[in-house]
Structure 1
Amino acid sequence: MDTRERLIESTRELLWERGYVGTSPKAIQHRSGAGQGSMYHHFTGKPDLALAAMTRSAQEMRDSAEAAFTGPGTALQRVSAYLRRERDALKGCPVGRLTQDPDVMADPVLRKPVEETFAWLADRLAGLLAEAREDGELDAALDPAATAAALAAVVQGGYVLARAAGRPDAYAAAVEGALGLLTRPKGD
């Protein structure tokens, strides 16, 4: 791994662990083993490096979700596969965690990969839910966009519940509860 990659990967880890405010250039340099000169050779400063790291985390999140969304099964089975896919629930979401950082949310450039990722996720989920509704897997009255927003909230909230309880099963319980609401017998 070259110096630029070590800097990006180290920043990704630190952002996930500490957030933007808690990630100092010195901590990045220490974690990556890169000197200050190397850091500023590849990036104009902490915001530029953080943006590269955040963009990479957002892309990995989309790629992982897309693998479930395009996997085998019906549309509802693919949504379920996404919700149930293996995650480190106690560590939380590397992109969702950034929403708690006021410096990220106040900076339109840093906020952009976060906004785009969640917009993409809501759109993909809504498309799958619409497909499931059209195929008769879900109630015809279901609003795909509103339900997609609720499912994204279940994932992010599930991370919060798991972290608060110190148990990954709290995440799993939130997901299973949401799926139970989606798959309850029609007419109930």
Structure 2
Amino acid sequence: MSTAERLIESTRELLWERGYAATSPKAIQQRAGVGQGSMYHHFAGKPDLALAAISRTAEEMRAKAEAQFSAPGTAVERITSYLLREREVLRGCPIGGLTQDPDLMADPALRAPVEETLAWLRGRLAEVVAEGRGIGELDAALDPQATAATIVAVLQGGYVLARAADSVAPFDQAIAGVLGLLAAHTSIADR
């Protein structure tokens, strides 16, 4: 792995563990095993490096989600697959968790990939819901945008509940609840 890659990966890990404000350039350098000169050779500073790390995390999150959203199966099966995929629940969402960092959210450049990723997720889920609705799998009265926003809110809230309880049980319960609500709007033929 190149020096720049080690810096990006170290920053990704530290942002997930500590958040932006608590991630110092020195901690990044130590985790990456590089000196200050190497860091500033590749990146203009902490914000530039953080942007590269957040963007990489966002790209990976989108790719994983898209693999499930575009897989074969019904709309409900694909949404279920996305919601039930393996996650490090007690660590929280590597993108959603960043919204709790006031320094990061105050910086429009750093906030952009977080905001874009969550908007993409809502949009992509809305497309899958609309597809299911269009073929009669889901109730025609189901609003795709509102449903997508609800799914994302439950997922992110599930992380918060799990971390607060130091248990994955509240996360699993939240996901089971939203899947139950979605199943209630599945056509009789698909039940």
- TM-score normalised to the size of structure 1? 0.97
Query: 1:172 deviation in Å?
Result: 1.2
Partner of 1:87: 87
Partner of 2:123: 123
Query: 1:107 deviation in Å?
Result: 0.8
Structure-1 separation of matches of 2:59 and 2:116: 10
Query: 1:185 deviation in Å?
Result: 6.0
Structure-2 separation of matches of 1:27 and 1:170: 32
Structure-1 separation of matches of 2:21 and 2:82: 31
Partner of 1:148: 148
Structure-2 separation of matches of 1:57 and 1:132: 29
Q: Contact conserved, 2:95 with 2:114, CA < 8 A, in 1?
A: yes
Partner of 1:61: 61
Q: Secondary structure at the match of 2:175?
A: helix
Partner of 1:163: 163
The 5-angstrom pairing of residues 171-186 of structure 1 reads 171-184=171-184
AA at the equivalent of 1:134: G
Query: 1:169 deviation in Å?
Result: 2.2
Structure-2 separation of matches of 1:93 and 1:61: 10
Partner of 1:102: 102
Q: Contact conserved, 2:138 with 2:185, CA < 8 A, in 1?
A: no
- TM-score normalised to the size of structure 2? 0.95
How has the CA–CA distance of structure 1 residues 99 and 71 changed in structure 2, closer, same or farther, with 3 Å as cutoff? same
Structure-2 separation of matches of 1:66 and 1:140: 24
- Across the aligned residues of Structure 1 and Structure 2, the Cα RMSD in angstroms comes to 1.2
AA at the equivalent of 1:174: A
Q: Contact conserved, 2:90 with 2:163, CA < 8 A, in 1?
A: yes
How has the CA–CA distance of structure 1 residues 186 and 80 changed in structure 2, closer, same or farther, with 3 Å as cutoff? closer
Deviations 1:90-131 (A, max 9, x none): 011110011001111111100000011011101100000011
How has the CA–CA distance of structure 1 residues 93 and 185 changed in structure 2, closer, same or farther, with 3 Å as cutoff? closer
Q: Secondary structure at the match of 2:63?
A: helix
Q: Which moved more, 1:161-170 or 1:85-94?
A: 161-170
Q: Which runs of 5+ in 2 are unaligned?
A: none
AA at the equivalent of 1:39: M
AA at the equivalent of 1:84: L
AA at the equivalent of 1:12: R
Structure-2 separation of matches of 1:115 and 1:166: 27
Structure-1 separation of matches of 2:158 and 2:97: 12
AA at the equivalent of 1:85: R
Structure-2 separation of matches of 1:34 and 1:89: 30
Structure-1 separation of matches of 2:68 and 2:39: 36
In the TM superposition, structure 1's runs of 4+ consecutive aligned residues that sit over 3 Å from their partners are none
